[in-house]
Structure 1
Amino acid sequence: MAVRMALSGKLYYEISQILGVSEFFLGYWKKIFKTQGIERLKLGYKGSQGYLTERQTDVVVEWLKNKEYWNLDELVTYVVQEFGVIYKSKQSPA
């Protein structure tokens, strides 16, 4: 999502505020995308097991696809209301 926003012309500062990530993070992954393509973004760190089921994740993705813009606070509220999953932090744990 961060790379998509950067490629659409959004300023790094705006993206970092919306997603709660550093501007360095944005530059790094945009460079990876431009030099190695979308497949490189799909590989690598897999993270911990999510709190949503595969079906719930699909529902969230469809909900996002139907939005004109994405807002993290709105997404957090949606996930809490629809699935009872509480989002704790905009940043990964250290």
Structure 2
Amino acid sequence: MAVRMALSGNIYHEISNILGVSNFFIGYWKKQFKTKGIAGIKLGHKGSKWYLTARQNTEVIEWLKDKEYCKSNEMLLI
């Protein structure tokens, strides 16, 4: 988002206030994009190991589908 805003002409100070990031952050990722393209700004994190079994995962998804809304403390349990 910061890169898109910077390339659209927004000044770093405005972007910083809106997104809560530093000017360095904006400049760094804009430079990454300009030198390496979209591959330069893709996250390298692959995620963590999945701890639920396939059955448990299905049960959680079904439980979520049945809820009209979730309280924040319920989401911490997921």
TM-score bracket, normalised by the shorter chain, equals 0.5 to 0.7
- Long gaps (5+) in structure 2: 49-68, 73-78
Distance verdict in 2 for CA 1:44–1:84, change over 3 Å:
same
Percent identity, aligned pairs only, is: 69
Question: Larger Rg: 1 or 2?
Answer: 2
Q: TM-score normalized by structure 1?
A: 0.48
Aligned residues: 53
Q: 2:17 & 2:47 partners in 1: Cα distance?
A: 22
Per-residue displacement from partner, 1:17-50 (whole Å, max 9, x unpaired)?
A: 00000000000000000000012211324578xx
Q: 2:70 & 2:15 partners in 1: Cα distance?
A: 26
What is residue 3 of structure 1 aligned with on the other side? Answer: 3
2:25 pairs with 1:31? no
Q: 1:3 & 1:83 partners in 2: Cα distance?
A: 33
RMSD between aligned alpha carbons?
2.5
- Long gaps (5+) in structure 1: 49-81, 86-94
Query: What secondary structure is seen at the aligned counterpart in 2 of 1:42?
Result: coil
Q: Which stretch of the first structure deviates more once superposed, 4-13 or 35-44?
A: 35-44
Q: Which stretches of structure 1, 4 residues or longer, exceed 4 Å deviation after superposition? A: 82-85
